[in-house]
Amino acid sequence: MFGTDGIRGCAKILDKEGYKLGRALEGAETVLVIGDNRPSHERLVSALVHGLTDAKVNVIYGGVLPTPAACECVDYFAADYAVVVTASHNPPQDNGYKLIGKGGAKVERTILDEIEKRMSTVSLPDRFGAPLPPVTKEVARVYLDRVTPESVPQGEYVFDCANGSTYPIVKRVFGGGRYINHGEGKKINVLSGATHPETVEAARQAGEWGFSFDGDGDRLIAVSPLGRVMDGDAILYALAVAYHRRGKLAKDIVVGTVMSNGGLDLALAKEGIHLVRTEVGDHHVAAKMKEEGAILGAEPSGHVLLNAPSDGIKTALALAALSELTDVDTLLEGYEPLPQVHRTVPLAVGIDKIQKRADLWRGYLGGTGRIVLRASGTEQVYRVMVECKDPHLAAEIADGVALGKQN
């Protein structure tokens, strides 16, 4: 039920899961609810609120806001949980429920397992839905206050808001700049935002920063003033090296995942920085950061953790501030990613078959590259990543693992 980042799927069939989740949170005193601006927002919030109301839980409804607002506000409102109705970077027809605990962190797996058990015993009503509570505007105000620095970095910016929930807040924070793909939830993530950085890349002019958020605002992919696309690995490199050179990188350690580029290890090591890897998922990155005492972590997908839960606006601010101190493009010359090729495989193919193919190709690669297989936590697919110095070989191996092709 709960994948890498909550419950997610086709919005048409999620009403009952929302109701069950609300009922399963019985015993909580207060739950904060926000969400992105998908067409299914009101219907799925209504189902969740119905369940919470039947469970005698007090609901604070913050309306349409980025996911990081829940992380920032859950403690402020003394809520036991925050639930974000979103499918993050998924297309408009999907939706889901992210569960945030006290302290703004994703809820631990053991607690999620218990909630799943409770959900499985919930009896469904004949109809779903309850009137939405009035929007508590203080939620947006508190988040805006916490995300806005005393001095906003000045520069030339283009923001791709992925037609999601980030636009009203980022516009208030940065003020100036150009904004594209904002306001239409029915087009959320469609050829826009963090999963399509080529859109802001094409929209920006020479010398401008391009910032691409995903639909719920917890990811950022950037384009530097000279036009270099910066995924989470490149952002992590730039911030880590800058902090390290100023003596502000705790323990000279940063955290990535098994999907982080091998070139990142090499580049950071040259600067005297150690990359610690963990499982995919920003909650795993956060846990490993806490364990290692690190203040920086990231996923290639654009989750960047600045000693706090991932927040696309905060990441954009950090890069903008860094740009005032140094030439980021010059800084990035020290990082050369290794070629990576990604493929997806339907779950029906079966992990055993894919694993056998991968083992054969690993023997061929020897120690000159990596093959990573994992089940997606957000879609019904297996993900295949192949990394090696030769991009053509990486593509051949990726097709061999995913499709059984052999050249």
Cβ-in-10-Å burial (0-12, 13-18, 19+) of 142 comes to middle
Amino acid identity for residue 101 in this structure: G
Catalytic center residues: 88
Element (H, E) at 222: strand 220-223
Round to whole Å and give the CA distance between 400 and 361. Answer: 8
Can you list the pairs that 90-93 forms with residues at least 24 positions away whose Cβ atoms lie under 8 Å?
A: 90/8, 90/189, 90/215, 90/378, 90/379, 91/188, 91/189, 91/190, 92/38, 92/39, 92/185, 92/186, 92/187, 92/188, 92/189, 92/190, 93/10, 93/11, 93/12
CB 85 within 8 A of CB 95: yes
Distance of CA 383 to the CA centre of its chain: 17
Reduced to 3 states, what is the DSSP secondary structure of residue 115?
helix
